[in-house]
Structure 1
Amino acid sequence: MKIAMANDHAGTKLKNEIKAYLESEGHEIKDFGTYDEESCDLSDFVYPAALAVAKGECDRGIFVDGVGYGSAMIANKLRGIFAVVCQDPFCAALARQHNDSNVLCLGGKIIGPAIAMEIVKTWMHTDPLTAEKYRRRVKKVQEIDAKHCVAVK
């Protein structure tokens, strides 16, 4: 699977740890930066990474900032992006099972590397539920997305 990754200065260290894990699992990583801990603007990195997922150039995205919400807010502005913030593996499982999320956002200042790795493992290895009620709910969200968001070119 091809994974887009992005971060700001608060997420550099955790992103690099997650990146190494994903590569060891055989995933291809497209790293949109930043690559150091100097203060920067999150949108400069998350926006192009989210575009890559929205355009289908990457299968999923994992973004790391201080809390996770900034990344999710930016990413969710794009049609076809269903970004979630997860702070534990239970939420990561539900975000995939019930919502078929395609972008995971983590807070490098909120969670440590051990729990972050469990969240990533859970999110990466959990499939959406296929029961009719879950497919129906996901489809309704996709329809709202298609109705109100401009297609990405």
Structure 2
Amino acid sequence: MKIVLASDHAGVALKKEIIPLLESMGHEVKDLGPYSTDSVDLSDFVYPAALEIAKKKADRGIFIDGVGYGSAMIANRVYGVDAVVCQDPFCAKLARQHNDSNVLCLGGKIIGPAIAEEIVKVWMTTDFLAQEKYIRRVKKVKAITEKHLKKLDEIN
């Protein structure tokens, strides 16, 4: 799979820990920065990464900031992105099984590399449960997206 990563300064260290893990799992990784811990604005990195998902240039994304919520807020404003914040492997499993999420957001200030790696492993290896109730629920979320977000080809 092609995985796009992005962060802010608070997520750089954790991102550096996750990249080798993803590569060892056989994934192609594209890191859109930043590459240092100098202060940056999160949206300058997460928004372009979210567009990679929306344009289908990447299959999934992993975004890391201080607590993960900022990344999720930015990413979920882009049509075709379903971002979740996970702080443990159980949440990561359900985020894939029940919600078919395509972006994982992590908090570099609240979880350490060992738990982050477990979260990533679980999220990357868990499939969507294509059962009727989950399909129905995901379709309802997609209907909300259709009503409120513009597709990329509809934007100037």
Shorter-chain TM-score above 0.5: yes
For 2:20 and 2:150, how far apart are their aligned partners in 1? 34
Output the amino acid matched with 1:69: Y
Output the amino acid matched with 2:125: H
Output the amino acid matched with 1:109: K
Normalised by the length of structure 2, the TM-score is: 0.96
Moved over 6 A (4+): none
> Secondary structure in 2 aligned to 1:141?
helix
For 2:146 and 2:20, how far apart are their aligned partners in 1? 35
| Percent identical residues | 71
Cα distance, 1:82 vs structure 2: 0.5
User: Which residue in the other structure is 2:38 paired with?
Assistant: 38
Runs of at least 5 residues in structure 2 that lack an aligned partner in the other structure:
none
For 2:25 and 2:120, how far apart are their aligned partners in 1? 12
RMSD of Structure 2 on Structure 1 (CA): 0.6
User: Which residue in the other structure is 1:51 paired with?
Assistant: 51
1:60-96 superposed Cα distances (whole Å, 9 cap, x missing partner): 0000100000000000000111000000000000000
> Secondary structure in 2 aligned to 1:109?
coil
> Secondary structure in 2 aligned to 1:14?
helix
For 1:39 and 1:131, how far apart are their aligned partners in 2? 44
Runs of at least 5 residues in structure 1 that lack an aligned partner in the other structure:
none
Output the amino acid matched with 1:94: L
Output the amino acid matched with 1:50: A
For 1:146 and 1:6, how far apart are their aligned partners in 2? 26
